[in-house]
Amino acid sequence: MNWYDNAIIYHIYPLGFCGAPKYNDFGDTVYRLDKVLDWIPHLKEMNVDAVYFGPVFESVEHGYDTVDYKKIDRRLGDNDSFRFICDKLHENGIRVILDGVFNHVGRKFPQFVDVQEHGQGSGYCGWFQNLNFGGQSPYGDPFWYEGWNGHYNLVKLNLRNVGVCDHIIDAVNYWIEHFRIDGIRFDAADCIDFDFFKRIRSFCKGKRPDFWLMGEIIHGDYNRWANPEMLDSVTNYECYKGLYSSHNDKNYFEIDYSINRQSGANGGIYKGIDLYNFVDNHDVNRLASTLNNPAHLPLVYTLMYTMPGIPSIYYGSEYGIQGRKENNSDDNLRPCLHLQDMQRENIKLYDHIVKLGRIYRAYPAVRNGVYERIQITNQQLLFKKVLGDQTVYVALNLGDYQYDFNFQTHLPALVDVLESNPIEINGGNAHISMPPYSAMIIVSDDIVNVQPEDTAAVQPAEEKETEIVEGAKYRHFKGGEYELMAVACHSETNEELVIYRSLTDGRVWARPKSMFIGKAGEVSRFTKID
């Protein structure tokens, strides 16, 4: 299991986030991106594992028209300031992912300028897709070239050219070695040559086996790009659409179909791939501007955090800010934000997302469990996530009326961890009454709503001796006895792990602390021995 299989990712579009000028005048350096440092406590409160920065390389306008792959855009800062930002994020347990815009470059890219200046005598004519001197470009160049998606300010690279590939891999190596970046998101991955992906995967995994490679894919079979030879993950646009439209259309069958098709308990065409899940980003309208009913916001985020895959938050959307494309411009999707101003936005939604982050971190089954639908109607959905001996139930009611679920469970006790309310169980049948526009995440032991400093206050006196004590001896509820050696921090997920040794055969085991201190039915899983 790699760190990214358990990650919560926070997506920032830097030029917008920082309020940078729309066009780069290539003048003075302004250290606007340093504001990220003030957001670190905010990221940690949300249990964010990695920040995915949109384009940061020197560019002409919006970041996707690169000029220099080894230089931070002077509208954001310089390489030294960005190295400091990366160091501070890493010190706080937050990884760094960069946007790799390797399909196309801007017209001020030095090698393209060389072609403009030297024509057929340039050594870089082979660097650009379908470049030929049989006609004029739309910009009046005495040659023709292919622009990305018909945009001739975005000059398409020829990724079958060895020099181009060497140039890009050299840049990637620079960011890995000098900034210790942890991953790359590949822009327009559906337009990139497969052989290039194979080469860059081999290089990056050779440098760091846990380096994350994720591609922007809008349509198609995700297996073509996400596989052991190429990328680790791709953008899950199928479920992006289903997440909001299932609520707008009052049709949970849509998103349930997509989840089951992708990774359901009875199959799934993307088994073994943790897709990158999102509800909005720098290219699409904000979720709060897409949903017909703002009361559905918490439900959509609950579903995104608990469905299979990697959940992500686009900066500011944790507060329910709005933004739509207007006049063919994405500017409203990429605003300059100041954290202190966000306190006037949707604090209730933010608190809900913070709680979701804590739940995601606390229960392995939420992150990696197998999805299995239990009950479904147009406006209600109940499913479970199962991992080993841990089961988590998720219930959603998007209707404007109360709805009752009754379902069988093997667990003797359950609690809605979102509200810390116990669930009624009679003879193995659980009953829940869901208010309008509500969500529940139901578990056997609530370890989220008890803060560590409050543990002694809420524990019964007879259970206090079962607190975690290194060097103490514990008895498993099935009878085995163990010595608790240490409480460790998982290097990839930051999850607390209890390390303990069998007093019978000396074997050493590791178990998530949440499970070690939890219950197996009505009894404690481990009890400290006097």
- Fill in the DSSP letter of residue 292: S
**Which residues partner with 98 through β-bridges?**
53, 184
**Burial annotation 353-362 (CB, 10 A radius, 16+ → b, else e):** bebbbbbbbb
User: Helix (H, G, I), strand (E, B), or coil: what is residue 51?
Assistant: strand
Q: In angstroms, what is the C-alpha Rg of the chain?
A: 25
* Residue 479 dihedral angles phi and psi, to the nearest 5°: 115, -25
String of DSSP letters for 157-223: B-TTSHHHHHHHHHHHHHHHHHH---EEEETTGGGS-HHHHHHHHHHHHHH-TT-EEEE---SS-GG
- Residue 476 is predicted with a pLDDT of 87
pLDDT tens over the chain, length 530 residues: 899 999 999 999 999 999 999 999 999 999 999 999 999 999 999 999 999 999 999 999 999 999 999 999 999 999 999 999 999 999 999 999 999 999 999 999 999 999 999 999 999 999 999 999 999 999 999 999 999 999 999 999 999 999 999 999 999 999 999 999 999 999 999 999 999 999 999 999 999 999 999 999 999 999 999 999 999 999 999 999 999 999 999 999 999 999 999 998 888 999 899 999 999 999 999 999 999 999 999 999 999 999 999 999 999 999 999 999 999 999 999 999 999 898 778 899 999 999 999 999 999 999 999 999 999 999 999 999 999 999 999 999 999 999 999 999 999 999 999 999 999 999 999 999 999 999 999 999 988 886 544 433 333 333 333 468 888 999 987 788 999 999 887 765 556 789 999 998 888 988 888 778 877 656 788 899 87
| CA-closest candidate to residue 311, choices 360, 358, 348, 244 | 360
- Residue 516 is predicted with a pLDDT of 84
Q: What is the distance between the alpha carbons of residues 393 and 409, in angstroms, rounded to a whole number?
A: 10
CA atoms within 13 A on the CB side of 227: 10
- Residue 493 is predicted with a pLDDT of 56
331 Cβ partners below 8 Å, 6+ apart?
16, 22
> Which two structure tokens, joined as six digits, stand for 58?
């020197």
Q: What is the distance between the alpha carbons of residues 389 and 397, in angstroms, rounded to a whole number?
A: 27
Q: Which domains does the chain have, with CATH numbers?
A: 3-365 (3.20.20.80), 368-443 (2.60.40.1180), 461-528 (2.30.30.320)
Measure the CA dihedral 129/135/136/138, to 10°: -60
Look up the pTM and report it. 0.87
